[in-house]
């Protein structure tokens, strides 16, 4: 390579995940992302530095022939590649979206026979548009497949890349970029290919001045202060959590769900009734999981086909008496908000990523003895939303969100704004935070919540808005209310959400 590989936290995590999964066992992997995000370059770096001891068979389906046209790979050539492999080899198929449909089927067909017999791994690189077809092929051939998404650079990474690309001797210097070039860079949406073209065409107009010793010291001091502040916040929250653990356990309902510790990017914290800052909300209250079950027909649904996702009824508890009483002197203790950090999500259907939380449905049956039974007229009356308890209201919102998801095309985009912990979920605190967002000019009617699986953990994912596509959702993040922008929202798609729901169903 003429230049070293520009490593970001995302690409480092992706290569680590690939290297680990490829050593685990035989499987098919998909690396997908928008055109120009650097998928080929990432795979080349992966092969050279993480898989240097493995035998790699590289097939580029976008290779040009002598006449400049794309050279199509025949079925015989594909079979020849598989015949030449040995046990444990890795096949990389680049630009999968450029191949004929017959060719794409041939790769899966060959892998289900020769690939499984020789314990091969196959890595497929494709554009984001090819994700749905990859999912269909995986279901059709019933193969174990994993997907990873390569996201474009953010604004800071674009500028850091320019320093790395144009000024290798002092890549962390301060760049001076003309305003018109900044607009052109913003129009690239973080795709590394177009950024490189701008750098090669107009790189001479971009200047860099090495950081002075004083600036270096100041930057280091700011970093140290930030670390100390985060450490102090973490220590304080941990102390508060431990001191209140006994009270939480006494307040838990019978049959409470097993506690789950959510790894990054879900942050354990409770929420004040009147938060002073925007933050990711994680409300704590032990609850019973709401299991989402998908039938085989739903698991095999085609793209764009509505998938009916219905929650199973909550477990019935015999003779449960719910007594609600509160005196004016009683106040509900809630912990303070932890500022949300920039989240790294599993690629869609992660990214991304993409969390599952739990709702407890309290079931009151007719009481005997001294218990006063409600009249038939009152029991049949449907309560207004204002009369519902927060738990019942949350279940209603959860079900309406499911209805919205299953009636939308998989290409529809939305924005994920929060991940809520499964281990302790308090609907009351959740709605208090919604009220706070409403006070910050956020249209809470656009907020939806669903249960899913992220990073192997069950959590709730809170989404906002509806957009024409995932790309359109990403472009709209900059215009969100400031209260939402400060909690690191990410773009999602209905197809990715459904994929996570299927993953949750498989685990359960």
Same domain, 355 and 412: yes
Same domain, 106 and 163: no
Angstrom distance (rounded) from CA 210 to CA 338: 36
Q: Which domain holds residue 27?
A: 9-149
Same domain, 189 and 174: yes
Any domain includes 322 = yes
Same domain, 168 and 39: no
**Collapsing DSSP states into helix, strand and coil, what is residue 293?**
strand
Same domain, 287 and 176: no
Residue 246, C-beta contacts closer than 8 angstroms, at least 6 positions apart: none
Q: Which one of 80, 114, 149 terminates a domain?
A: 149
**Structure confidence at residue 385 (pLDDT):** 53
Any domain includes 86 = yes
Q: Which one of 116, 149, 182 terminates a domain?
A: 149
Same domain, 145 and 179: no
**Structure confidence at residue 96 (pLDDT):** 92
Nearest residue to 456 (alpha-carbon basis) of 489, 418, 500: 500
Distance (Å) of CA 177 to CA 3, 203, 315? 22, 9, 61
Any domain includes 2 = no
Helices then strands (H, E): number in the chain?
Answer: 18, 13
Q: Which one of 149, 178, 195 terminates a domain?
A: 149
Structural domains of the chain, count: 3
Angstrom distance (rounded) from CA 131 to CA 91: 19
Same domain, 203 and 173: yes
Pairing between strand 292-293 and 310-311?
antiparallel
- DSSP-assigned states of every residue in 373-387: PPPHHHHHSPPPGGG
Same domain, 120 and 160: no
Q: Which residues of 434-444 are buried (b: 16+ CB within 10 A; e: fewer)?
A: bebbeeeebee
Give the CATH number for residue 96: 3.40.50.300
Any domain includes 249 = no
Token digits of residue 46: 């992966």
In contact, 357 and 459? CB cutoff 8 Å? yes
Any domain includes 232 = no
Same domain, 264 and 128: no
pLDDT tens across the length of the chain (508 residues): 456 778 888 888 888 888 888 877 778 999 999 888 889 989 998 888 888 888 999 999 886 544 555 567 888 888 888 888 888 899 999 999 888 888 889 899 888 888 878 888 899 999 988 888 898 898 888 887 888 899 888 888 888 888 888 887 777 777 888 888 888 888 888 888 888 888 888 888 888 776 554 444 455 556 666 677 776 776 665 655 555 544 444 444 444 433 333 333 443 444 444 444 444 444 444 444 444 444 545 444 444 444 444 444 444 434 333 334 343 333 443 433 333 333 333 445 443 333 333 333 333 333 333 433 333 344 444 455 555 788 889 899 999 999 999 999 988 999 999 888 767 788 888 899 899 999 999 999 999 998 876 656 678 889 999 999 988 988 899 899 988 988 878 888 898 888 778 777 765 5
Same domain, 165 and 76: no
Any domain includes 72 = yes
Any domain includes 315 = yes
Same domain, 75 and 105: yes
Any domain includes 223 = no
In contact, 163 and 6? CB cutoff 8 Å? no
In contact, 393 and 427? CB cutoff 8 Å? yes
**pTM for this predicted structure:** 0.42
Angstrom distance (rounded) from CA 269 to CA 425: 10
Cα three-residue angle 437-442-445, rounded to 5 degrees: 100
Please measure the distance between the N-terminal and C-terminal CA atoms of the chain and give it in whole angstroms: 46
Same domain, 320 and 185: no
């Amino acid at each position: 390579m003429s230049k070293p590989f520009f490593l970001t936290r995302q690409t480092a995590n992706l290569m680590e995940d690939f290297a680990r999964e490829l050593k685990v066992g035989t499987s098919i992997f998909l690396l997908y992302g928008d055109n120009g995000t650097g998928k080929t370059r990432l795979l080349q770096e992966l092969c050279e530095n993480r898989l240097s001891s493995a035998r790699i068979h590289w097939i580029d389906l976008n290779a040009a022939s002598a006449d400049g046209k794309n050279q199509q790979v025949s079925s015989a050539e594909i079979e020849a590649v598989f015949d030449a492999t040995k046990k444990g080899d890795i096949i990389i198929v680049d630009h999968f979206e450029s191949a004929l449909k017959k060719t794409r089927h041939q790769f899966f067909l060959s892998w289900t026979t020769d690939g499984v017999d020789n314990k091969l791994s196959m890595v497929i690189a494709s554009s984001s548009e090819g994700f749905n077809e990859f999912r269909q092929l995986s279901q059709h051939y019933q193969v174990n497949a994993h997907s990873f998404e390569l996201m474009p650079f953010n604004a800071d990474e674009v500028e850091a890349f320019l320093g790395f690309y144009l000024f290798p001797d002092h890549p962390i210097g301060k760049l001076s970029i003309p305003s018109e070039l900044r607009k052109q860079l913003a129009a690239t949406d973080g795709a590394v290919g177009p950024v490189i073209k701008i750098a090669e065409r107009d790189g001479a107009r971009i200047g860099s001045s090495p950081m002075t010793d004083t600036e270096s010291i100041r930057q280091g001091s700011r970093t140290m202060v930030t670390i100390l502040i985060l450490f102090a916040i973490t220590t304080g929250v941990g102390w508060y959590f431990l001191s209140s653990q006994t009270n939480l356990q006494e307040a838990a309902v019978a049959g409470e769900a097993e506690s789950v510790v959510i790894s990054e990017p879900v942050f354990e914290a409770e929420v004040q009734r009147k938060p002073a800052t925007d933050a990711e909300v994680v409300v704590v209250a032990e609850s019973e999981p709401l299991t989402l079950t998908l039938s085989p027909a739903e698991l095999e649904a085609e793209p764009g086909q509505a998938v009916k996702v219905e929650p199973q009824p909550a477990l019935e508890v015999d003779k449960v008496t719910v007594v609600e009483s509160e005196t004016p002197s009683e106040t509900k203790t809630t912990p303070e908000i932890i500022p949300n950090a920039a989240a790294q999500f599993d690629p869609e259907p992660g990214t991304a990523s993409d969390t599952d939380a739990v709702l407890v449905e309290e079931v009151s049956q007719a009481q005997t003895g001294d218990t006063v039974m409600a009249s038939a007229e009152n029991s049949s009356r449907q309560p207004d939303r204002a009369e519902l308890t927060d738990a019942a209201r949350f279940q209603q919102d959860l079900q309406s969100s499911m209805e919205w998801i299953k009636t939308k095309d998989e290409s529809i985009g939305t924005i994920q704004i929060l991940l809520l912990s499964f281990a302790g979920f308090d609907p009351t605190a959740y709605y208090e935070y919604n009220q706070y967002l409403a006070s910050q000019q956020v249209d809470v009617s656009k907020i939806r919540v669903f249960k899913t699986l992220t990073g192997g953990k069950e959590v709730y994912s809170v989404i906002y808005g509806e957009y024409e596509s995932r790309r359109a959702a990403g472009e709209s993040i900059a215009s969100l209310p400031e209260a939402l922008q400060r909690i690191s929202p990410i773009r999602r798609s209905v197809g990715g959400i459904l994929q996570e729901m299927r993953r949750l169903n498989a685990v359960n």
